[in-house]
Every structure is written in C-alpha cells, then in structure tokens.
Structure 1
C-alpha cells in the first residue's frame, strides 16, 4: 500500500465537531492501493494537533509522542468499529482510551505571569502537552460514545474507504462527495450489467 500523506482529506460528517472522530479518521485507505496517514511522522502529528487547536503553535512532537497519539487512534478506531457494528469493543481498546482519560488531570492548572495575570494552562513539557491533548480527545470520545449521537456512528460504505462518520441523514452512509460518487457509480454500473445479462 502506497502512502500519500500529503493529500488533505475533507472532514467526514461529525469530525469537525468531534476531535475523536477526526483522530480516528486521520488514516484512510483510498482506491488504487493508496493510503493517507496524517500522523506518519512527528512533524505531521504535530501539525495535526495544532490544526485541531489541541497544542500551541510552537509545539514540536517527539517520535514517542507521535507513537502515543497513533496508539490512541488505534484504540478509538477499534471502539468506533465495534459501535458501528453493534458489538462489544475489545477490552484493550477501552483500556487505551481510559489510560488517556486518566493520565493527566482533566483541568488545566491555575497559573500567573506578569503579562497574562491569572490564567489556566496545562503543564508545558511536550509530553504533558500531548497527554493533555490525548485526554481531551478521549473525553470527546467517551462523551460521543455514551451520548445521544452514539447510534449515529457508522462506517463509510464506499469500499475501500475505512473512515467513520456520524450519519446526519438517514440514507447517507459515506464520508465525502467523492466516496458518495463512487458508491453511486458502482450501483449504476451494477444495474447496467444486470440489464445487459437479463437481455
């Protein structure tokens, strides 16, 4: 499978509201044996966190932090897949999310400096920034999976796409216009082939 990490993908339905869905969808399989992985390097993982406003602009992740984020993504993908398939999630995936939830205090600490005065901020070492970001993502996932929208979590039905969506329309089961066009084209082709064989 060839990696195409530079291709920006449009967000899947629900991913703009839920960073946990966005993280789960930061890797995707595309037609033609291509794959996109937005966390395939420390620099790209940093870019992903900054673009989702989870760490300050000057953050620079280490490979260790990139691996932690990718591991959380794997846990989220396993749990979302279980939810979409109406089956019990793997215990290891639940433990991965729970570890992210409990590794850092959920509340930013109270700080003071002469320029800003009193303000709240997470601890500043990079590993703690990443752990704090992961806790926010895990909190979002826990709220989504236990809230009113849990039943709307679905897989994109356009093969080979493997992204997750929140079904905003009863009939929409794909993550983007491109995937929807592929589904419609495949259906039209199947109907055409069926009518050729029937005649």
Structure 2
C-alpha cells in the first residue's frame, strides 16, 4: 500500500514548534525525504517567507541564494543534534560546532524598546547585513535551551517512518507529531495485518 506524504504547508505544526524555533527549523523539511515540494526552504523566496512568519527577520529583509544555502546547512546541523538527543547517541562534533559558532556570531545583549503596536519589548540591535546571523544565533540559543532545559525530557521524533519530524511529547505515550501521522501508521499496520491473514495457508511469500 502506498502512503501519501503531505506537503509541509498542509501539515499542522508539531507540538513544541510554537515555542521553539529550532524545532520549527528542523521540521521545515517536513519529512525524511528532501523533495522540493516538502521543503519550506527550497528557494530563497520560500525561506524568506518562513523566517518572516516566525519573526526571525524583519519584514524588509530578503534572503538570497547564498544565505538560503547557509540556512539549509544550519538546519541539517540542528537536525543532527536533535536526532542524537532523541536517539541517545553521541552528536556529530561538526553539528555541535555549527550550533556554537552561530551563537557566538551576535552579541547577546538586548535593549529595552517600545512602540505603539507591541508596547514594551526586548530588542537586539544589529546591522541589516547581519540579519541571517542574528536569526541563526537566536535559533542556536533555542537549541541549547531545548536540550538543557525543562523540555529536554519531552523531546522526541515522530514514530511514523514517512515523517521524521521532531516534537515535544504532550504526554508520555505520545508517538506521533500529528493525528494524520498516527492515522497513517495505524492504517498501514491494519493493511499489513489484513494482507498477511489473506494469504492462503501453506503459501510461501
């Protein structure tokens, strides 16, 4: 039985993405294969929209091919580190180094700011030419918070073979990042069981 894989745009965010931009970045490829239609960073235009939506860059920032490639490479480092955390294995040293390098690019000092639409908020000053570096630094800091903070024990990877998205477990027995993934896996299991029972006795496979 073939299982239809849904583009990222049609999938609901995995639990935890709303508070952890590192999870959202890791999941922006949507599933384990890297087909362009499932990748929210497949073009500079899509990547710019993705980052604007999450307020990682200002509304007037445009990503170009070079920056988009850097973002894609950084995403793989984030996925490698999160994957090691969920599997309980030693992380790739290059991936860890990439996270630390991103954190060190932008000073961590933040300033108090105010405007009529949002009121008081914190703001970090940086040159427009450093917009991507600032975004990567923020995501890298979130990776550290995620892996060393209170949420570390709930980090998991969706058990659906066709998915691979990372999530925070909302309860101990949760295995899927979405109802859609759970339904797909259960349907595949039911089909496999039915196929197995439909084979005549004594027939070899």
Is residue 125 of structure 2 the alignment partner of residue 122 of structure 1? yes
Gaps of 5+ in 2: 1-5, 114-121
Q: How many residues align?
A: 189
Structure 2 equivalent of residue 77 of structure 1: 79
Gaps of 5+ in 1: 112-118
1:114-150 C-alpha deviation (Å, 9 max, x unpaired): xxxxx8442232x411111111111111000011221
CA contact (8 A) 1:122 1:129 kept: no
**RMSD (Å), alpha carbons:** 2.7
Structure 2 equivalent of residue 86 of structure 1: 88
What secondary structure, in the 3-state scheme, does the structure 2 residue paired with 1:7 have?
helix
What secondary structure, in the 3-state scheme, does the structure 1 residue paired with 2:38 have?
strand
What secondary structure, in the 3-state scheme, does the structure 2 residue paired with 1:179 have?
helix
Distance in 2 of aligned mates of 1:96 and 1:124? 22
CA contact (8 A) 1:156 1:163 kept: yes
Structure 2 equivalent of residue 180 of structure 1: 182
Structure 1 equivalent of residue 59 of structure 2: 57
User: Structure 1 residues 65, 7: closer, same or farther in 2, change over 3 A?
Assistant: same
What secondary structure, in the 3-state scheme, does the structure 2 residue paired with 1:46 have?
helix
- Which is strand-richer, 1 or 2? 1
Q: Could you state the TM-score of these two structures normalised by the residue count of structure 1?
A: 0.83
